[in-house]
Amino acid sequence: MMFKALIVEEQNGVFTQHVGKKSIDMLPPGEVLIRVRYSSLNYKDALSATGNRGVTKQYPHTPGIDASGVVEESKSPLFIVGDEVLVTGYDLGMNTSGGFAEYIRVPANWVVKLPKGLSMTGAMICGTAGFTAGLSLYRMQHNGLKPGGKPVLVTGATGGVGSYAVALLHAAGYKVAAASRKSDAAIFLNSLGADEIIPTGSIAQYAAKPLAKALFAGAVDTVGGTVLSGALSTCEMHGSVASCGLTQSSDFSSTVFPFIIRGVNLLGINSAETPMQVRQQVWEMIAGQTKVVLPEGYSKMVSLEELIPLFPKILTGAVTGRYLVVL
């Protein structure tokens, strides 16, 4: 059986993308075959689609690190035909044929049944970006973060992870300080629930200080570099900074003072390899107790063909909100 898929090919070091046909027989082994209904666009998808060997080693390849859909075949007792499920992370879309296709076949231990209250579209509007934001909040709460105190800083706040983090923190009862380098972002960020908007540069300026005034109860940092350094310097006593991105830089410098004087926690967020028990808890949190209300226009629906011109845009930070891929 043939199905529609986005295919990335390499010829003489040049990578091209097109929508074509693949065979079910071309899919990798796995216990669960899923008819994909929706996927979503992430930064890592654009890296894979443009030939980043740190993400994808062999081409031709179909990216898409997110997928939601319906189980079509199952060799696992955990799933039956007709189950509505989602898959994010692990190796999906990296070196395993991904969600920018009508079918995926994956190991059963990658698959999550859709939690009550979460639709297939809602799961992909959230996607890896929203799951990363949810995992950041989950880890911060387990390290003592509670509503009612200083605001929580979110950096790179107009991006996929950052924007969902703003909305999720607001829904959970936290004050949110959203940092962005985009001068026209205020209306969008306020619609997500941001209590204050901060220029990114005002956080980066604290990078040179071992400790600055404690401004934030914690931070979700998607940027890295001097912004992560500034977030650590301005975090309050026993606060937590969740590091989950590197849109500015993979490097940062700090002193030990935030850690040994204020007891700040630096939390590394690896959403792709999250253990299934924690993964299910985070999805339940996203679906239930901290139900996010997103503004109109936050997510945009696109086809596979419409996805291709978006890859360079997301790599340069020109994408706001989320793109939902309809299959």
Q: pLDDT tens-digit profile of 128-151?
A: 999 999 999 999 999 999 999 999
E strands present in 209-320: 216-221, 235-243, 265-268, 299-302
pLDDT at 62: 98
Judge if 168 and 258 occupy the same domain. Answer: yes
CB atoms inside a 10 Å sphere around CB 171 = 18
Query: How far, in Å, CA of 128 to CA of 272, rounded?
Result: 8
- Determine whether 174 is exposed, middle or buried from the number of CB atoms within 10 Å of its CB (0-12, 13-18, 19+): buried
Please give the tally of structural domains in the chain: 2
pLDDT at 247: 80
∠ CA(165), CA(258), CA(198), 5° rounding? 40
Judge if 149 and 260 occupy the same domain. Answer: yes
CATH number at 209 reads 3.40.50.720
Q: 160-171 and 120-142 helices cross at what angle (nearest 10)?
A: 70
CATH number at 15 reads 3.90.180.10
pLDDT at 292: 81
pTM for this prediction: 0.92
Domain contains 264: yes
Taking the mean position of all CA atoms in its chain, how far away is CA 96? 18
Residues in the chain with pLDDT values less than 70: 289-291
CB atoms inside a 10 Å sphere around CB 123 = 29
Q: Taking phi first (over 0 means left), then psi (-120 to 50 degrees means alpha), and beta for anything else, what does residue 300 get?
A: beta
Q: pLDDT tens-digit profile of 14-46?
A: 999 999 999 999 999 999 999 999 999 999 999
pLDDT at 218: 98
